[in-house]
Structure 1
Amino acid sequence: MMFNDSSILNIVEKKAIENKARVAIGINFLSTEILDSLKKAQDRGYANIVIVGCKKDIENLDSESNIEIVDTDNPEKSICELLASNDVDAAVRGNIKASKVLDYLKTLMDAEKLYRIALLQTNMGRPFFFAPVGIDEGNDLASKIEHVKKSIEHIRRFDIDPEVGILSGGRSGDIGRNNKVDRTLADAEFITRYLLGNGINATNHNILIENAVKESDFVYAPDGITGNLIFRTLVYLCGGEGIGAPVLTDEYVFVDTSRARKDFTKAIMIASALTSIKTK
């Protein structure tokens, strides 16, 4: 069933406060806005925060903040080492380099590919899960199916049985106009039928993202490039919010974020909340 506009965030917040996990965040540059968000997350009881970064590059950290710092010249590597050693319960990317930290995560997890799912919110306050968000994700049918399955599994861990909306590059009547669009139409229809055949509520919305967001809890884009553009348009042009994109793994909790972000309060909240469902 679909969650209402606030329930998923309430669920996440409640779990975060219950866990109050030790959460590391990668920081290359600490602005006043970022520091305020870290203090807010800690003051609200979401987590005990550990900044991972080079001390000489981190300014404005006053002694009253009670935020620990792990001093390092390689925060991307160090934050993964903290996860591997269980020195922290979870990690948030913060504003360190995405490609570098994700490569270290792949090594840590002995994985060739990582899947992520983003929790987004429209400017009207409508939250929904969304994937793929990485430009290297969702590029073939097999990986799309695997991604959707892993995403649904993680959403269900919040006691939500999602309505899934599948997107393509056109309407069903557009078949034959463009080979690339035809491929997305065929993939979307196959994935929708696959999910329905496995007892999952799913709808093929074609290119009608406006309907998908209204009617679905989890929306899946045609590929990672399209998904990344949708994410950036929603968040940077249309007043929406990207709360965070957890990596879909049972072993570690890592929440990806945009380097352009200045408020990591909710990303820390979701990282702390997820620590209660990891299996390692």
Structure 2
Amino acid sequence: MNSGNNDILNIIENRALKNRARVAIGIREPTEKLISSVNAAHNGRYAHVVLVGDRSKIREFDTELDIIDTQNPEKMLASLLVSRKVDAAVRGTAHASGALANLKQSLKMESIQRLALLITASGNCFFLAPVGIDETGSIADRINFILNGARHISRFGIEPSVGILSGGRLGDLGRDSRVDRTLADADFITNRLHEKGINAKHYTILIEDAIKEANFIFAPDGISGNLIFRTLVFLGGGDGIGAPVLMDDYVFVDTSRVGGHYTKAIMLASALADISDTSEIDF
């Protein structure tokens, strides 16, 4: 397996070109930029793309892609996945709350965990979790989250290397009880991951060191993870490709409405669509 951060996008692109899965994307308030990026994914043979939204609005733009006409793309995306009429789905510009709520209801999921794929301004590609403010729980929950994320990264043929973050340096012990707890938790989690055969290291608060070696960064909690995502993508000149929901039997890639470009998100969904590999991976 290849774990080089700069190779991640190439590996995902090659998987997408091999799979060319049928990928649905939610469309609300289509724009020229949005439709152009979706056409690029289809014409680049990353996927056979299906647009899900108001046909009359979509037809105002230049596209010959299949369209599923609906006023509720959030519900339709989940329905298409459950019925296996598509291999994968991308949220696109469908409403986040509605899309994720329908996904949870349709698949009877108690909670949702997402694994974001990000690119720094210098072109370094890595996975980040958690990115939802409510996506962390107990230490056991976090360990399971990391194991699940590592399993999904392995589906690409990439060896996961996990960088665990905490709230301070080791020299900060004793300054604040909350920081002390994050340091202790990160040490415990790292040791448990080693017992599970996962390549993991506790980098304390030094994310700048973690990104040099790890391809999967795990933040202390969902709030800090969401702040890392927003700082990199909205302030730091980086890019958010998409955030697959961690599921074994279905592929759903969450996306931000801000960027407006979805070529790589569709590529990511198509690369994940070959879910048969999961049966051979056990952490």
TM-score, shorter chain, exceeding 0.5: yes
Deviations 1:62-85 (Å, cap 9, x if unpaired)?
Answer: 2xx221211212111111001111
Q: 1:277 aligns with which of 259, 275, 278?
A: 275
1:69-108 to structure 2, matched below 5 A, reads 69-108=67-106
**Inter-partner Cα distance in structure 2 for 1:3 and 1:142:** 26
Conserved? CA contact 2:50–2:66, under 8 Å: yes
**Inter-partner Cα distance in structure 2 for 1:90 and 1:215:** 31
Task: State the partner residue of 1:126.
Answer: 124
1:220-235 to structure 2, matched below 5 A, reads 220-235=218-233
Conserved? CA contact 2:26–2:91, under 8 Å: yes
| Long gaps (5+) in structure 1 | none
Give TM-score, length-normalised by structure 2: 0.93
Q: What letter matches 2:273 in structure 1? A: T
**Inter-partner Cα distance in structure 2 for 1:95 and 1:4:** 31
Deviations 1:111-136 (Å, cap 9, x if unpaired)?
Answer: 10111111111111111111111111
**Inter-partner Cα distance in structure 2 for 1:20 and 1:59:** 24
**Inter-partner Cα distance in structure 1 for 2:140 and 2:27:** 35
The Cα of 1:57 is off from its aligned counterpart by 4.1
Greater mean alpha carbon deviation, residues 181-190 or residues 71-80: 181-190
Q: What letter matches 1:95 in structure 2? A: T
Deviations 1:143-174 (Å, cap 9, x if unpaired)?
Answer: 21111010011111122222210001111222
Task: State the partner residue of 1:37.
Answer: 37
Give TM-score, length-normalised by structure 1: 0.94
Q: What letter matches 1:181 in structure 2? A: V
Distance 1:32 1:75, change over 3 A: same
Does residue 1:17 correspond to 2:7, yes or no?
no
The Cα of 1:261 is off from its aligned counterpart by 2.1
1:147 aligns to what SS in structure 2?
Answer: helix
Distance 1:5 1:219, change over 3 A: closer
The Cα of 1:183 is off from its aligned counterpart by 2.2
**Inter-partner Cα distance in structure 2 for 1:43 and 1:149:** 35
**Inter-partner Cα distance in structure 1 for 2:249 and 2:160:** 23
Greater mean alpha carbon deviation, residues 119-128 or residues 167-176: 167-176
Does residue 1:155 correspond to 2:153, yes or no?
yes
2:274 aligns to what SS in structure 1?
Answer: helix
Conserved? CA contact 1:168–1:221, under 8 Å: yes
The Cα of 1:55 is off from its aligned counterpart by 2.9
The Cα of 1:141 is off from its aligned counterpart by 1.5
2:180 aligns to what SS in structure 1?
Answer: helix
**Inter-partner Cα distance in structure 1 for 2:144 and 2:107:** 17
1:66 aligns to what SS in structure 2?
Answer: coil
**Inter-partner Cα distance in structure 1 for 2:99 and 2:119:** 25
Task: State the partner residue of 1:140.
Answer: 138
1:79 aligns to what SS in structure 2?
Answer: helix
Distance 1:97 1:179, change over 3 A: farther
**Inter-partner Cα distance in structure 1 for 2:105 and 2:184:** 34
Task: State the partner residue of 1:250.
Answer: 248
Task: State the partner residue of 2:50.
Answer: 50
Q: What letter matches 1:39 in structure 2? A: N
Q: 1:187 aligns with which of 156, 173, 185?
A: 185
**Inter-partner Cα distance in structure 1 for 2:4 and 2:135:** 28
Q: What letter matches 1:60 in structure 2? A: E
Conserved? CA contact 2:82–2:107, under 8 Å: no
